[in-house]
Structure 1
Amino acid sequence: MTVTQTSHTLAVLGIGDLAEQVYGGLLDRPGQSAAEVTRGSGASQAAVKEALRELEDRGLVTRSASRPVRYFATAPELALGILLRQRADELDRVRAATAAYQARFAHATGSTDPLDLVEVVVGQDAVLQRVTQLQRAAQDEILVLDTPPYAASHQVTAAEVEHLERGVRARVIYDRSALEVPGQLATIGRLRELGEEARVRDGLPTKLMIADRRHAIVPLGFTRPGIDGIVLVNASPLLDALCALFESLWQAATPMAGSVDAPDDSDLLTLLAAGLKDDALARQLGVSRRTVQRRIQRLMRTVGADSRAQVVLQAARTGLLPLSTSG
């Protein structure tokens, strides 16, 4: 009997891959001997015995008093529930220690050198690491100004997915030029499906990321800002000013609308409002320049507009394009 393959999700509880595989097999076929488990696992006898010992130590498996010894999986709700509570207690202790360490850090840095309020991070790998840390540490809200250039073609990262799935509110303002980057509109669409709130504005002054209004990342340099170096800004009047800058730009930015997976008039209207030209519109919507022009003409007829600028205004009045700046 082959041991059932599992997804190795129990690693977070400190359970090895082979042990989880053996546990899954015993759930499907209880009462196997060590030899039977070994034959079905494809692993060595020594490795299987170690996995069974690991499962016994964690309370996931019990053994019979008969000979040969046979193994039975403990009910997952009972065994895993205990391990989950233990891990939760451990995480609570880590959170308490984090608060204590933060208090010590604030005490050591808060009353001496103002330069301690900022940290310079140099190097593309180090920058990416710090950005990822900031995203994963956020608890309430992430604020972002997004503008080219980019280190690579922008893709949805694991850190972005994680904080959105945790319920962290993400508000992002994209520079109009960012929408002209091939594939960017599709990436924004996937993030919006996960819960990101997106707006667009022309001429953003800089890249920026703010986490929980406690830390901010601002780029260094002008040739590849935010790629080769950043400044990490901690709680300070400077951080307050960056938060105020974001809110001012957010109020004046245009909300994005529509589904990117199935482009509709809302997509076209949003990009028109952002000021994209026909060629850029065609690239982002995945259609020909002529198709874009036909869709614009149809929209003009639909809303009774004589020009492209009037299309956007009329669409806003009729509710096709949400231009409300409340937020």
Structure 2
Amino acid sequence: MLGAIGLDEGQESAYRALVALGAAEVPDLAHRLTLPVPQTERALRHLERHGLAARSSARPGRWVAAPPGVALGALLTRQRHELEQAELAAVLLAEKYRAEAAEPAVHDLVEVVTGASAVAHRFRQLRLGATEEVCALVTGGPRAVTGSDDQAEERAAVRGVAYRVVLEREVLTQPGGIREAGAALARGELIRVTDRVPTKLVIADRSLAMLPLTPRGAEPAALVVHASGLLEALRGLFEASWREALPLILGSTGCAEEGAGGPDAVDLEILTLLLAGMTDASVAKHLELGLRTVQRRVKGLMELAGVTTRLQLGWQAYRRGWVAR
């Protein structure tokens, strides 16, 4: 089970035994493992080099196991980082190969990827390989192409990769939808919302796109499109959707009137969710409030702003700085 982090069967057995015993001398451990003493010593020295075991300072001759949560966690983190770096290198090499090809063949302009695992892997490669901007259309259906990967997106933000995302409004009503959108906004991503998105789509650096190829219920498959007239058409589709969508606003910038008759934190949360296009019932469910409580608070906000319609309330909320622009 621990072979993925470089341990063979004997080394893993030695570590598991140390974890169970707490501490042990080499002969006792060799007897428990039914291994020769020299082989047991080699296994312990290997564990020591990887930070998984150490000689006891309190009782010479005995070995103790490092805490699994710390020792194994560090090894797994290093393995993940090395794998991601290898994936990124493979993507960059592939792009360099295509860029240096004098006249790429037509079949090199598109790739067909089949299988859920292969689609997810290719999608992750595409995002890891982006250096400037990632644009995405996200629908409310199953996410065969686009999806959330906080770690990958945080690393992209650190590298200075910009994100522009158009969400179908249904996404916000799904479990965790508001939370994921809020986390994305906190990372500096630009998000807009519309009633309907034509298709799932992701475009990296304006040079590579990916979109689903099969309908719901069929085996997941996706089309990867390289620089071509088709890619230009997909870029145009994204830009058209972006222009028609409305900016998503979650959270407030604070309120100068708060504490002096202004909206409180719950009022502001209700207001920002309504501005995101959610219904009173959806807001009530998300905030775990009663529907009448939400409607009563909205009425109070309208009275506070001196307006008679919700459209006017939205305008006043922007003008008074109750929500971020």
TM category, shorter: 0.5 to 0.7
Q: Does 2:284 correspond to 1:282?
A: yes
Question: 2:212 maps to which residue?
Answer: 219
Amino acid at match of 1:312: G
Question: 1:3 maps to which residue?
Answer: none
Report how far residue 136 of structure 1 moved: 4.1
Work out the CA distance in 2 between the residues paired with 1:183 and 1:62.
43
Amino acid at match of 2:152: H
Work out the CA distance in 2 between the residues paired with 1:121 and 1:96.
20
Work out the CA distance in 2 between the residues paired with 1:125 and 1:60.
32
Which ranges in structure 1 are unaligned for 5 or more consecutive residues? 1-7, 74-84
Q: Does 2:177 correspond to 1:188?
A: no
Question: 1:148 maps to which residue?
Answer: 140
Deviates more, 1:311-320 or 1:207-216: 207-216
1:172 to 165, 171, 174: 165
Work out the CA distance in 2 between the residues paired with 1:115 and 1:229.
17
Amino acid at match of 1:203: R
Contact 1:143 1:172 in 2 (8 A): yes
Work out the CA distance in 2 between the residues paired with 1:310 and 1:197.
25
Amino acid at match of 2:193: V
CA gap of 1:195–1:319, structure 2 versus 1, over 3 A, is same
Report how far residue 307 of structure 1 moved: 0.6
Q: Does 2:270 correspond to 1:268?
A: yes
CA gap of 1:177–1:310, structure 2 versus 1, over 3 A, is same
Contact 1:258 1:264 in 2 (8 A): no
Contact 1:156 1:191 in 2 (8 A): no
Q: Map Cα deviations across residues 270-291 of structure 1 (whole Å, 9 max, x no partner).
A: 3323433323333333322212
Report how far residue 144 of structure 1 moved: 1.9
Q: How many residues were matched structurally? A: 288
Deviates more, 1:183-192 or 1:311-320: 183-192
Amino acid at match of 1:319: G
Contact 2:280 2:291 in 1 (8 A): yes
Report the 3-state secondary structure (helix = DSSP H, G, I; strand = E; otherwise coil) of the residue aligned with 1:51: helix
Work out the CA distance in 2 between the residues paired with 1:255 and 1:245.
20
Q: Map Cα deviations across residues 80-116 of structure 1 (whole Å, 9 max, x no partner).
A: xxxxx9xx999989977765554334455x6243342
Work out the CA distance in 2 between the residues paired with 1:96 and 1:18.
31
CA gap of 1:263–1:213, structure 2 versus 1, over 3 A, is farther
Contact 2:250 2:273 in 1 (8 A): no
Percentage identity across aligned positions? 36
Q: CA RMSD in A?
A: 5.0
Please list, as runs of the form range in 1=range in 2, the aligned pairs for 1:315-326 lying within 5 A after superposition.
315-323=317-325
Report how far residue 219 of structure 1 moved: 2.6
CA gap of 1:128–1:265, structure 2 versus 1, over 3 A, is farther
Report how far residue 254 of structure 1 moved: 1.4
Amino acid at match of 2:211: V
Give TM-score, length-normalised by structure 2: 0.64
Report the 3-state secondary structure (helix = DSSP H, G, I; strand = E; otherwise coil) of the residue aligned with 1:281: helix
Work out the CA distance in 2 between the residues paired with 1:282 and 1:250.
29
2:193 to 193, 197, 200: 200
Question: 2:97 maps to which residue?
Answer: 104
Report the 3-state secondary structure (helix = DSSP H, G, I; strand = E; otherwise coil) of the residue aligned with 1:104: helix
Work out the CA distance in 2 between the residues paired with 1:228 and 1:156.
14
Contact 1:256 1:267 in 2 (8 A): no
Report how far residue 133 of structure 1 moved: 3.5
Work out the CA distance in 2 between the residues paired with 1:271 and 1:228.
33
Please list, as runs of the form range in 1=range in 2, the aligned pairs for 1:49-60 lying within 5 A after superposition.
49-55=41-47
Please list, as runs of the form range in 1=range in 2, the aligned pairs for 1:82-97 lying within 5 A after superposition.
none
Give TM-score, length-normalised by structure 1: 0.64
CA gap of 1:258–1:21, structure 2 versus 1, over 3 A, is farther
Contact 2:210 2:223 in 1 (8 A): yes
Please list, as runs of the form range in 1=range in 2, the aligned pairs for 1:229-308 lying within 5 A after superposition.
229-247=221-239, 249-250=241-242, 252-258=245-251, 264-308=266-310
Work out the CA distance in 2 between the residues paired with 1:89 and 1:147.
32
1:161 to 145, 150, 170: 150
Contact 1:151 1:227 in 2 (8 A): no
2:33 to 41, 44, 67: 44
Amino acid at match of 1:218: L
Work out the CA distance in 2 between the residues paired with 1:142 and 1:263.
33
Contact 2:249 2:276 in 1 (8 A): no
Report how far residue 231 of structure 1 moved: 1.7
Q: Map Cα deviations across residues 103-146 of structure 1 (whole Å, 9 max, x no partner).
A: 334455x6243342122334444433433333444455432211
Please list, as runs of the form range in 1=range in 2, the aligned pairs for 1:41-80 lying within 5 A after superposition.
44=33, 46=35, 48-55=40-47
Contact 1:219 1:227 in 2 (8 A): no
Report how far residue 163 of structure 1 moved: 1.1
Contact 2:128 2:156 in 1 (8 A): no
Amino acid at match of 2:192: R
Contact 2:14 2:40 in 1 (8 A): no
CA gap of 1:116–1:89, structure 2 versus 1, over 3 A, is closer
